[in-house]
Structure 1
């Protein structure tokens, strides 16, 4: 059970637990109940995870309490922006509980239940955050052992957080016995099925299954029974991701198939190793997330990821030379596309333009790019921006470079600024622009605030040039 309010709050049967004032019930699982509670000592809301009282008579009370203590011990030693924080562990006469961070958002499972793949940029950004959390946990001697979408939360600022360390293995812990099969079958590694000792490479196998599902909309191992899932994990090679989703670049296939190797030695040995391989497969754009000291106010970037082609790759600013294409013609196409799919738009626009050898043809360019927009609605919006075959999308894409600052900000100006920012941050740019607009006295001030949200120095400089700073 995670800390997100995945079900409508319900009236709790109790009103107080230790020092915590119970406000509502967030959900219930096989092990216990999660409440929304208030800590009066430091005046903050928490998620309170408890052991179910009706299980006490089954003889499992001490085992369940030990598991709860294990979660508190595992997560409590991990202070990381991508891991749900644990604040406290306590026991009353008939209840054991842990107080943890209350995450306002949605479980990744809910986003994947539709069976539709996520946008590539979004999936890779969230996966980068998952790798950051796992790399940190592994460095501190903690193996999660139950990485799955239900244990991954995405908050309102698009930050992914890893929850539920209830079956985690902590170095020097005596809670978990060798030979015990622990995990969730569809996301378990081969060594978990056989009860062998596990390390961080098992978490990375499970994480690769999650990435596969985010990119394709389906799981690589999906039998009708636990026995069938186990047979597939132990003996079958899953379909290459691009066979399930033809929009995916082949370079990602190689990374995921290695990450799903049955032998731990054949997989990536560390989270950082897997991250570097994804960097290479996406033309070297780092898959990292941005945090600041004011963590609760941070808006995460939809990171700049670029797709590899089968005929070559470009890194950094090494993009196709498009001397015959006026920059003023490509810029609005890039910003409109970036609003739908994120920073990868910059490379895709230039690659598509390079395929039109005779003369600049905006309608042909839009036709080549439209299939890269995964949603029907987003694709229609992108095509409609240039539906008349002219450069109509340019007026909607933003103000011209070097325009004078406005004394007051209108919706069109904020929208235009967000579209320009989307080239570097992706769809999250709209949230950033909306947040910063009330704090900016002029259009120039807004552009300056948006530039500060771009962590990459070269991208920030390019944005500043684009808006005339």
Structure 2
């Protein structure tokens, strides 16, 4: 560049704009509004937002890459025809995605959407991890067939042409990015087990209902374990109920095939309050971590309450590992049920029963005489083991 300053160049540019002639020639105007050819325009380098250009370029390259990948890769056997999928309304919003109710080929379905977007915030590694997690969930779920496991219908690795329902009548349906994915499963109208327990927090459940829900959950987990699958996030929020109150296990986002060597399965995976001590400590673990979580769920089902309602997550983690903290079992709880809870949440994984053994123990409980939280000689109103009423 010559000895002229940026200010002098800028003044010349402004003079050129006023006269409509940037290069001194009479032919600098072209057709169109403003009439200035892009090749004749002068930009100040210090006024260009390079960061914004980088983001825009990244978005463009990402879209091109996604389209090329989708066009080149072969279709999986579980991939659905998006033209048959119709989303109606949002039913849940979680950490890893949004769940919609809809129809697929005239069947009521629930659709779990994962959309990590193209906003430039997620790194390549983060995007790859989420996509791998999605593929893992689909791989696990598509092979399962059991009455106590939510039925998998199909999935899609690219849903950019899927229209989302608008939140307001006047709104236009929004669209997804090219990296979005979805899992389609049967729709269960009973909601989550946690929602059901909250609705019954004050009146509690009859013993036969408690045992039936526990049996459904234990049978589903026993089936998963027979297939060498560890759920790793067993909790009441991940269990769904159908119209007849049959329980089905859902959400396989962190499920994985059990490793032959327990040392290959480490890391804090799950939800605090349900996580086994060995998981909390980051030690090697196996399917017995699901057994521990089942014990906590069994307590929840019986009590219709939350474990550790007055403790922070940090306090729970520390106390479970160092002080062998467990939920308080009410005095009215039948010994047959209380013993199963204690065996399942034993601090030593090797002392916990297999889920198939838990099924056998639950099947042996006689529920014909009632008992538990709702004694035979009382109207359904719950016992007084908990005072004051706790929970959400």
- Shorter-chain TM band: 0.5 to 0.7
* Matched-pair contact (CA < 8 Å) for 1:69–1:89: no
Residue of structure 1 aligned with 2:218, choices 121, 126, 131: 131
Q: Return the alpha-carbon distance in structure 1 between the equivalents of residues 287 and 363 of structure 2.
A: 20
Match of 2:90 in 1: 25
Question: C-alpha deviations, 1:65-114, integer Å up to 9, x for none?
Answer: 22122111122111011111112121223211111111111211112235
TM-score scaled by length of structure 1:
0.53
Q: Return the alpha-carbon distance in structure 1 between the equivalents of residues 361 and 117 of structure 2.
A: 48
Match of 1:275 in 2: 359
DSSP-derived class of the 1:46 partner:
strand
| Residue 376 of structure 2 is aligned to residue 375 of structure 1 | no
Match of 2:369 in 1: 344
Match of 1:74 in 2: 140
Match of 1:101 in 2: 186
* Matched-pair contact (CA < 8 Å) for 1:47–1:101: yes
Gaps in structure 2 of 5+ consecutive residues: 1-80, 159-177, 383-392
TM-score scaled by length of structure 2:
0.63
Question: C-alpha deviations, 1:260-303, integer Å up to 9, x for none?
Answer: 111111111x11212223345x2xxxxxxxxxxxxxxxxxxxxx
| Residue 228 of structure 2 is aligned to residue 141 of structure 1 | yes
DSSP-derived class of the 1:97 partner:
strand
Residue of structure 2 aligned with 1:111, choices 182, 185, 196: 196
DSSP-derived class of the 2:150 partner:
coil
Q: Relative contact order: is structure 1 or structure 2 higher (C-alpha 8 Å, sep ≥ 6)?
A: 2
DSSP-derived class of the 1:206 partner:
helix
Match of 1:44 in 2: 107
Q: Return the alpha-carbon distance in structure 2 between the equivalents of residues 39 and 136 of structure 1.
A: 27
The structure-2 alpha-carbon separation of the partners of 1:54 and 1:180, relative to structure 1 and needing over 3 Å to count, comes to same
Q: Return the alpha-carbon distance in structure 1 between the equivalents of residues 82 and 333 of structure 2.
A: 49
Match of 1:159 in 2: 246
Q: Give the structure with higher Rg (CA).
A: 2
CA RMSD of aligned residues (A): 2.7
* Matched-pair contact (CA < 8 Å) for 1:181–1:194: yes
| Residue 302 of structure 2 is aligned to residue 203 of structure 1 | no
Residue of structure 1 aligned with 2:100, choices 28, 35, 43: 35
DSSP-derived class of the 1:186 partner:
coil
DSSP-derived class of the 2:223 partner:
helix
How many residues align? The count is 273
Q: What does residue range 423-462 of structure 1 map to in structure 2 within 5 Å?
A: none
* Matched-pair contact (CA < 8 Å) for 1:87–1:101: yes
Q: What does residue range 248-259 of structure 1 map to in structure 2 within 5 Å?
A: 248-259=333-344
Question: Which structure carries more helix by proportion?
Answer: 1
Q: Return the alpha-carbon distance in structure 1 between the equivalents of residues 361 and 147 of structure 2.
A: 23
Alpha-carbon shift at residue 188 of structure 1 (Å) = 0.8
DSSP-derived class of the 2:241 partner:
strand
* Matched-pair contact (CA < 8 Å) for 1:222–1:229: no
